[in-house]
Amino acid sequence: MTLPALAQTSKVFRDGNSWVEETTGTLPPGREFRALTDLGSVDVQGTASQVTYVVRKRSNESTEALARRQFEQLRITASKVGDAVVLEGRMMSRGVNRMAADFVVQIPRLTQVVKVETHGGALSFGSIQGAVLGFTAGGAVKIDDIGGTVKLTSGGGTIDAGTVNSDMFLRSGSGAISVQRVSGQLMVKTGGGRVKIGTSGPATIETGAGNIEVMKCNGELKATSGGGNLNFGEIAGNLTAETSGGSVRLSSATCE
């Protein structure tokens, strides 16, 4: 059974040199939350008892009529399908310029699965007890205070992670990756960015060219760089380290 969004409203107003269409809506919570948009950044926070969302489209067209015509090209739908809440932004045609969008979503903290994909914007997640899966074609990703497994992919943007109390898998086409603390297994792969890790469980880290820094690893660590420096602090398990051109510095570890 599919239920549409409750009390969805839209308004258009002037903001500086831009026109903005703001759409708001509410849906009852579900076990899963999914968001898919062809355009725009997505911010999901586990800070509400229901699912509430605000979508702002921004246009630099000269008149309101032209802006409204542009806004119509990104169609926003929200519904509850079974036990999943689904928010979508679909482009009706290609080649739409001078328009941006951002999705700000609040969900219950205990939502078990959160899946978000955008083809052209940043992602951010916070205060979520369940698993988080995110993909962006090129935007930056920020995440913090997550209880479940995390899997994040960016086509080229940076990834900045705070605290994750489970396993985490991060991939970027070329951006830098930083992690403050992950309790479980950590896997990181970037095509060329710097990698900096505070504290993790067993970890596998690979970068095409950037430096790798790990302050503390509570388990085995495997680190490979195509040419960067490797700097390790306290490593509780075996360490396997390789760089094609940089230096290697180690405080304490069991080495292979």
Provide the pLDDT confidence category of residue 228 given band limits of 50, 70 and 90. Answer: very high
Render pLDDT for 8-30 as a digit per residue (tens, 0 to 9).
899 999 999 999 999 999 999 99
Cα separation, 102 vs 79, in Å, equals 18
What integer best gives the mean pLDDT of the chain? 93
Cα separation, 168 vs 200, in Å, equals 10
Nearest to 118 by CA among 44, 50, 31: 44
Cα separation, 11 vs 78, in Å, equals 17
Render pLDDT for 25-53 as a digit per residue (tens, 0 to 9).
999 999 999 999 999 999 999 999 999 99
Nearest to 169 by CA among 210, 71, 146: 146
